[in-house]
Amino acid sequence: MKRVILLMAIAFGLFAPVALRAQDSNAPKNNIILIKNATLLTVTHGNIEHGSILIRDGKIAEVGTDVKAPDGATVIDANGQYVTPGIIDCHSHIAIEGGVNEGSVSVSSMANIADVLDSDDLSIYDDLAGGVTVANVLHGSANAIGGQTVVIKLRWGKPASQLPFEGALPGIKFALGENPKRSNFSPPPGIEPRYPATRLGVEETIREAFIEARQYKKDWEDYKQKKAAGDQNLIPPRRDEKLEPLVEVLEGKRYVHSHCYRADEILMLIRVANEFGFKIRTFQHVLEGYKIADEIAASGAGGSTFSDWWAYKMEAFDAIPYNAALMTDRGVVVSINSDDAEEARHLNQEAAKSMKYGGLSANDALKLITLNPAIQLGIDNRVGSIDVGKDADLAIFNHDPLSVYAVVQKTLIDGRVYFDRQRDIDMRPALEKEKQDLLAKEKSAAEEKKKEDKSEGKSEGKSEKKPDAKKKKPPTSQSNVGGVAGGGL
C-alpha cells in the first residue's frame, strides 16, 4: 500500500528532489496575486506605507496604497511587513556541478557554467530563504581568463534549462592578482608550475588571448566574405570554443566580470580593455576600488564588492568596509555580493553596513543589492525595483530589511512564491516522518537480507562503492563549506 502511495506521489509530479530544508514551489491558484498591507521599498520612487502590489502573469501590474484585487485573486496579507525587490547576488557560485573552476589552464574560456547548472543544489533554496531571487553564477578565479558565466533566477524546483534569466547577456569571468598567478600554493614536485606567476604575466595572458581572438575573428570574416563572393572551394577556419567567447567580448555581446583586488591591476585591465576596444562590465571584489573610484567610474564599469571582508590574503589587506560607499560617492554603480552560499543568506545585513561605514542612505544601501546589480547585469528593465511592468521578484521581510533583526518570510519570483518560511516550518514534521519511515524500511530490508544470506550460507560480497546519489557542491575558493566533487560518471 505504501508503495502505491509512493508511486502516486511520483505521478503527481513531486519530481523535484526535495530535502527537509526545501519545499515545493507554490503555484498560485491563478496568476493574479495581491500583496497588501505592506511597507513597500520600491527603491526607485521611495517607500510606500500601507501599500499593495498587484501581480498579473508574473509581472507587477499595480503599485500603490489603493490597489484593488479582482475576484479570485490570491491575497497575501503582509500585516505591515516590508516588501523589497528580490535581492540580486552579483557574485555567486551556487548551482554548479563538478567544480567551480576549470583551473588547469590559464585561459579556460571554453568552459561554460551554463553546461553544468545543478538545479538540485540546496544552496538555491538556502539563498531564496535570504531573499535572493537572481544570481550571477560565475566561474571561479583560478585563471586569468576563466569560463563563461550565466545569470539565473533561483526557480527552485524547475529543471536547469529553466533557470537562466531569459534575455540576460552571457558573461565571462576574468581574474587578476594572487589567484590566477597561484601565489598561495605550489604544485607538487614533478609538475610544472603554470604560467603566469606574476601580475605581469597575468596581463600578458589576457592580451595574448585577445590578440588570438582578434585574428580568429578576422579569419572568419575573411572566410565569410570569400564565400559570399561565390568562392566554393573553401576550407572554413576551425571553430575554436576558447576564442569564440572572446570574440563576443570584442563585439560587446558578452559581459566581462573581472575578479580583482589591487588598484593597479584594475587600472591595468581598463588599459587592456581599451587597447582591444571593449569595456569591462563589472569589477568583482574590487577591494581597492576606493583608491581609484574616479577611474572606475570613468570606465563605465560597475563595482561588485564585499561588505567587510579583509586580511585573508595580502591583496585584501587594504580592503575597507567603506569601499562601497566611497565608490558610490564617486559615481560608480556599486553592488554588494556574497561569493558564498551562506553570505548570500544575509545580503540585506551586508548592504546595511554601508550606512555605518560611509553614511549611505537607507535607500542607497538597499540599491546595493537590488537596482544596482540589476543595472550591472543589464537586467534592470526587468528586475531590481518595485515598478509596474517589472517582474514580480519580491522579498517580504518581517522588519526593516536593513535591520539585523529582519527575517525573510517569503520570496517570490515571477509572481510565484518560491520560499515561504511558515510553510518550511510546517513541512518539517512530515519530512522528518518520511525520513524515519524510509530508514525503518531500509533497516527491515537489511535484516531480511541478513536472514536470507544466512540461510543460503552465502558470505558477504565484496564491499560496494558508494551509491551515485546527488552530492553537495565542491569547495569554492572563498568558502569553508565542504562538499563532494561531481558524480563519478
Partner 1 sequence: MKNRFKFRYALLVFMVACIASLINWTHPARAAGAAPRYFAITNARVVTGSGVVISNGTVVVAKGLIQAVGETVAIPPEAWVIDGKGLTVYPGLIDAGTDLGLPKEEPTENAAAGRGRRRAAPSGEIAKGPEDRPGTTPWRVAADEFKTDDKRIETWRNGGFTTALTMPDGGIFPGQATVVDLAGDRQGDYIVKAVATLPISFRPVGGFWGFPDSLMGSIAYIRQVFDDSNWYEQAAPIYAANSIKFERLPYDRTEQVISRELRDKETVLLPANNSVQILRALRLADEWKINAVIYGGQQGYAVADAIAAKKTPVLVNLKWPERAKDADPEADQTLRELRFRDRAPSSPAALAKSGVKFAFYSGGLSGPKDILKNARKAISAGLAPDAALRAFTADSAEILGVSDRMGSIAPGKIANLVVTDGDIFGEKTKVKHVFVDGRWFEVHEEPAAEKPSDHKTDEPPGSPKDMTDGEGVGR
Partner 2 sequence: MSRVISVKSPSFQLIAFCLALSLAFPLRSQPAANVYAIKGAKVYTLAGPAIENGTVVIRDGKIAAVGANIDVPADAQVIEAAGLEVYPGMFDPITQIGLNEVGAVSATVDARELGAFNPELIAATAVNPATAHIPVTRASGITEVIAVPGIGGFDSEGGGVITGQASAFNLAGWTMEEMQINRQVAMVINWPSIETRSFDFSTFSIKEKPYTEAKKEYEKAVNVLSDWMVRARHYAQAKEKGSPDLFLRDLKLEALVPVVEGKLPVLVVADEARDIRNAVDFCAKQNLKMILASGSESWKVKDLLKEKKIPVILGPTERLPEKQDDPYDKPMTQPAELNAAGIPFAFASFGTSFSRRLSQYAGTAVGYGLPHDEALKAVMLNAAQIFGLADQIGTLEPGKLANIIVTTGDPLEIQTQVRYLFIKGQLTSTDNRHRDLYEQYRKRPAPTR
Residues 153-182 that bind partner 1 (CB under 8 A): 159-161
Contacts of 81 (CB under 8 A, 6+ apart): 38, 39, 396, 397, 398, 399, 409
For the bound state, the minimum distance from the C-beta of residue 290 to partner 2, rounded and expressed in Å, comes to 5
For the bound state, the minimum distance from the C-beta of residue 281 to partner 2, rounded and expressed in Å, comes to 21
User: How does DSSP assign 296-324, residue by residue?
Assistant: HHHHT-EEEE-SS--SSSGGGTT--TTHH
Interface segment toward partner 2; rule CB under 8 A; list 34-42, 220-228, 276-284, 310-318: 310-318
- For the chain, the residue count is 489
Which residue blocks in 29-165 are alpha helix, DSSP H?
Answer: 122-128
DSSP H or E run through 37: strand 32-41
CB-nearer residue toward partner 1: 208 or 264: 208
Contacts of 438 (CB under 8 A, 6+ apart): none
Residues 14-33 that bind partner 1 (CB under 8 A): 15, 17-20
Identify what 62 binds: partner 2, partner 1, none; CB under 5 to 8 Å per kind. none
Residues 204-233 that bind partner 1 (CB under 8 A): 233
Q: Is 46 in contact with 367 (CB distance < 8 Å)? A: no
Residues 173-202 that bind partner 2 (CB under 8 A): 178, 184, 188
Is 45 strand, coil or helix?
Answer: coil
Closest residue by Cα to residue 128 from 91, 164, 153: 153
Residues 348-377 that bind partner 2 (CB under 8 A): 349, 352-353, 355-358
CB-nearer residue toward partner 2: 208 or 434: 434
Establish if 24 lies at the interface with partner 2 (CB under 8 A): no
Identify what 204 binds: partner 2, partner 1, none; CB under 5 to 8 Å per kind. none
How far apart, in whole angstroms, are the C-alpha atoms of residue 351 and residue 372? Answer: 12
Establish if 120 lies at the interface with partner 1 (CB under 8 A): yes
In this chain, which of 79, 440, 481, 487 binds partner 2, going by CB under 8 A?
Answer: 481
Residue 247 grid cell: 570574440
Cell 563538478, residue located = 98
DSSP H or E run through 135: strand 132-137
Residues 437-476 that bind partner 1 (CB under 8 A): 438-439, 441-442, 446, 458-470
In this chain, which of 7, 75, 211, 481 binds partner 1, going by CB under 8 A?
Answer: 7
Identify what 50 binds: partner 1, partner 2, none; CB under 5 to 8 Å per kind. none
Closest residue by Cα to residue 259 from 486, 481, 476: 476
CB-nearer residue toward partner 1: 41 or 116: 116
Count of C-beta atoms within a 10 Å radius of residue 193: 10
Residues 230-259 that bind partner 1 (CB under 8 A): 233-236, 238-242
Establish if 211 lies at the interface with partner 2 (CB under 8 A): no
How far apart, in whole angstroms, are the C-alpha atoms of residue 172 and residue 179? Answer: 16
How far apart, in whole angstroms, are the C-alpha atoms of residue 231 and residue 357? Answer: 65
- The sign one gets for the Cα dihedral 124, 96, 153, 176 is positive
In this chain, which of 308, 363, 387, 477 binds partner 2, going by CB under 8 A?
Answer: 308
Identify what 458 binds: partner 2, partner 1, none; CB under 5 to 8 Å per kind. partner 1
User: How does DSSP assign 78-89, residue by residue?
Assistant: -TT-EEEEPEEE
How far apart, in whole angstroms, are the C-alpha atoms of residue 367 and residue 461? Answer: 61
In this chain, which of 48, 94, 402, 412 binds partner 2, going by CB under 8 A?
Answer: 402
Three-state SS string over 338-382 comes to CCCCCHHHHHHHHHHHHHHCCCCCHHHHHHCCCHHHHHHCCCCCC
Interface segment toward partner 1; rule CB under 8 A; list 48-56, 59-67, 168-176, 185-193: 185-193
Draw the binding track, 110-149, toward partner 2 (x: CB under 8 A; -: no contact).
------------x--xx--x--------------------
For the bound state, the minimum distance from the C-beta of residue 259 to partner 1, rounded and expressed in Å, comes to 17
Buried b (16+ CB within 10 A) or exposed e, 211-222: ebbbebbeebee
Establish if 346 lies at the interface with partner 2 (CB under 8 A): yes
Instruction: Tell me which amino acid residue 112 is.
Output: N
Residues 227-286 that bind partner 2 (CB under 8 A): none
Binding residues for partner 2, rule: CB under 8 A, are 19-21, 122, 125-126, 129, 178, 184, 188, 290-295, 308-314, 316-318, 320-322, 326, 329, 341-343, 345-346, 349, 352-353, 355-358, 399, 402-407, 424-425, 428, 431, 435, 463, 466, 472, 475, 480-482, 484-485
